[in-house]
Structure 1
Amino acid sequence: MAFPKVPCSWLSLDAMDISGELHLDLDHDVYKQRLAANGSPVKEVEKHNVDATKTKMPAGNGTAGVAAGVAGDAANDTQVAVSGCGSCYGAEDQQGDCCNTCDEVRAAYRRKGWALANVDHVEQCAHDMYTESIKEQAGEGCHMWGMLEVNKVAGNFHFAPGRSYQQGSMHVHDIAPFGEAVMDFRHTVHRLSFGKPFPGMKNPLDTAKAEHTAATTSGMFQYFLKVVPTAYTDLSNVTVNTNQFSVTENFREAQGGAGKTLPGVFFFYDLSPIKVRIIEHASSFLSFLTSVCAIVGGVFTVSGIVDACVYTGARLIKKKMELGKFS
């Protein structure tokens, strides 16, 4: 998947399902490449700005191999720690609390429900790699690909701006560091699949460019996927267990206010209770010969009928002409 207007460092990939399993800022078997404003890959300046980490997810009932992804910068975890007890800048839960890193300051603000939009005055964030990468990559795009495992239950995975966290029962993305920047989430899905492909398989979102006719491109792109388990058996009796899916698209324009729409690209999937079986088979030579004979016989029969009609019509016309009754 390619985002031509959203930098890699601005995005996070999260996955969750109705069983309660939640994964934030996924970087498991997911990769990214920074893109310049003209769409060309940005040359590698620092390794953490281009390459994503590759780690294995915990084993589970995985069904989805998703050829789209995004990872947070591995080096974003680099923090500047202050000596002694650092200030939380008014967000202490109780007197004496310390915030010695930039992430601890952000966490304290999140617990209070406050936005930390400007970190220039925060000593712990003086050399925060996350803040620096946000400024450095402004105006760039991002190309993401990879795979992730999901449980065989309904759920969703989404690409959205800012680091994500769970606050009570709410899933929240911290977009305060981006200020008033417009999030243009127009994108191109190069390939999306759930499982291995089989001969002749075509997924509806492959090489599909998501565009919308709304006046603004800032908003939530939603894809509602109905995943159908499929078993394909070829001529050599080898079976491939995979999935097909259908898709319905929707776009929610970003709105202001407390309940404003989070911009991003969201894929909501649900599994169908019906399984499709596709079995490939070849006809025998005897069946082929029988079909050929049937076709040839049919051609001769139709030709005979047409010939008889023409012959009978010609005789009637000739007889009338002899009697002088044809005019």
Structure 2
Amino acid sequence: MDSFVSKIRSLDAYPKINEDFYSRTLSGGVITLASSIIMTLLFISELRLYLHAATETKLVVDTSRGETLRINFDITFPAIPCSILSVDAMDISGEQHLDIRHDIIKKRIDVLGNVIETRKEGIGSPTIDRPLQRHGGRLEHNETYCGSCYGAEGSDDHCCNTCEDVREAYRKKGWALTNPDEIDQCKREGFLEKIKEEEGEGCNMYGFLEVNKVAGNFHFAPGKSFQQSNVHVHDLLTFQKDSYNISHKINRLTYGEYFPGVVNPLDGVKWTQETPHGMYQYFIKVVPTVYTDVSGHTIQTNQFSVTEHFKGADFGRFQSIPGVFFFYDLSPIKVTFTEQHASFLHFLTNVCAIVGGVFTVSGILDSFIYHGQKAIKKKMELGKFS
């Protein structure tokens, strides 16, 4: 048995030094204390890295098809009333959404930015008080109202019962409504009076658009839009104004959901118009993005970059629609962010590397100081007795 134990003892790769040969020094104690503090701090730092997820970034080709793009916006126009401001969206596939109202809220604001009224519709509903019928007479007792569309009827039984109905019928025909006071419905509803009441007000418009995931644009501009000879135009004659101030502040603009670390470059951007007429344009490059958190939850969203351009008018005449336009295009490259924890084995390896590295460096430093002190002391003793 003793011989077996002796053989095992002979395999010891870590031979021990007899305690009689130990020499404890002040410098060794200081170095040991300092190295212990350093190891503790490095261990805490490594533990934090282990507990917090790291984000891995990859670039892949975007092969998604048939998806939609959600655009969230919150924009304030301090000098354009809500009653004349509209939003349109169109894309290269030919799809158009004109004068969008669903999922959009308008807030009337005064010159100080205080909210006057929050509403979804621009003008409001009419009050029917013996209005002019389609056949020219007034509404009689028990007679169903059917207002004239003033030549813009789409069919024989088409009725325009409100000023908005007449404007919509004109829009579909590609006509401009030059004088609302000549339209019974508009006159009865006080269309121009309501616009004049909002003179000097601003508008905060917020909500979202759901569009095809292809290149396109959406824009905010005064007047009702329509197509005329395949050209997108806005009916500005209705409001009887010479110029429009399109100064604006973008409180928020995102393409998709928020995810941790995203930076939306247009949030908080403000622009003030200094010329009478013009169009402000944002050219946006949308980058599809997939964010997966440490629990495996995936967010399909987008990032974007942007450049800006102001297009003015020559000789005081409109060369383009006054408004704020957002032209967007999609990148064929998708960015993926994946959160993940480091493995415990990786953490353990790093801890061992920290302990071993600090211990080794401390040992070298301690040996250098100890032998240096010993050599100096020996030289001093030789000099004393010589």
Do these two structures clear the TM 0.5 threshold for a shared fold by scoring above it?
Answer: yes
Instruction: Tell me if 1:287 matches 2:346.
Output: yes
C-alpha separation in 2, matches of 1:78 and 1:269: 44
Rg (Cα) greater in structure:
2
Residue pairs, 1:93-172, within 5 angstroms? 104=166, 116=178, 118-120=179-181, 125-172=186-233
Q: Name the counterpart of 1:23.
A: 97
SS at match of 1:193: strand
Residue pairs, 1:38-77, within 5 angstroms? 38-43=112-117, 50-52=118-120, 72-73=122-123, 75=125
SS at match of 1:15: strand
Bigger fraction of residues in strand: 2
- The alpha-carbon deviation at position 146 of structure 1 amounts to 0.8
Bigger fraction of residues in helix: 2
- The alpha-carbon deviation at position 303 of structure 1 amounts to 6.3
- The alpha-carbon deviation at position 298 of structure 1 amounts to 4.6
Specify whether residues 280 and 108 from structure 1 end up closer, same or farther in structure 2 by C-alpha distance, changes over 3 A only: closer
Preserved CA contact (<8 Å) 1:25 1:72: no
C-alpha separation in 1, matches of 2:328 and 2:126: 30
Q: Name the counterpart of 2:284.
A: 225
Q: Name the counterpart of 1:197.
A: 258
Task: Give the aligned length.
Answer: 287
Preserved CA contact (<8 Å) 1:9 1:130: no
C-alpha separation in 2, matches of 1:149 and 1:257: 36
Q: Name the counterpart of 1:13.
A: 87
C-alpha separation in 2, matches of 1:76 and 1:152: 38
Q: Name the counterpart of 1:32.
A: 106
SS at match of 1:127: helix
Q: Name the counterpart of 2:30.
A: none
C-alpha separation in 1, matches of 2:339 and 2:368: 44
Preserved CA contact (<8 Å) 1:255 1:261: no
Preserved CA contact (<8 Å) 1:254 1:262: no
SS at match of 2:333: coil
C-alpha separation in 2, matches of 1:78 and 1:171: 33
RMSD of aligned Cα (Å):
4.1
Identity among equivalent positions (%) equals: 51
Instruction: Tell me if 1:267 matches 2:326.
Output: yes
Preserved CA contact (<8 Å) 2:103 2:207: yes
Q: Name the counterpart of 2:135.
A: 84
Query: Structure 2 regions of 5+ residues with no counterpart?
Result: 1-74, 138-149, 153-158, 378-386
- The alpha-carbon deviation at position 254 of structure 1 amounts to 3.7
C-alpha separation in 2, matches of 1:112 and 1:22: 14
Specify whether residues 146 and 112 from structure 1 end up closer, same or farther in structure 2 by C-alpha distance, changes over 3 A only: closer
Q: Name the counterpart of 1:67.
A: none
State which of 186, 207, 224 in structure 1 corresponds to 2:247.
186
- The alpha-carbon deviation at position 7 of structure 1 amounts to 0.7
C-alpha separation in 1, matches of 2:198 and 2:108: 8
Q: Name the counterpart of 2:269.
A: 209
State which of 273, 276, 295 in structure 1 corresponds to 2:335.
276
Specify whether residues 155 and 302 from structure 1 end up closer, same or farther in structure 2 by C-alpha distance, changes over 3 A only: farther
The CA deviation string for residues 204-260 of structure 1, in whole angstroms up to 9 with x for no partner, is 122x22225x74274212111111111111111121111111111122224456652
SS at match of 2:281: strand
- The alpha-carbon deviation at position 178 of structure 1 amounts to 3.2
The CA deviation string for residues 106-128 of structure 1, in whole angstroms up to 9 with x for no partner, is 97799797772x54466564224
C-alpha separation in 2, matches of 1:286 and 1:142: 58
Specify whether residues 283 and 37 from structure 1 end up closer, same or farther in structure 2 by C-alpha distance, changes over 3 A only: same
Scaled by the length of structure 2, the TM-score of the pair is 0.62
Scaled by the length of structure 1, the TM-score of the pair is 0.72
- The alpha-carbon deviation at position 5 of structure 1 amounts to 1.3
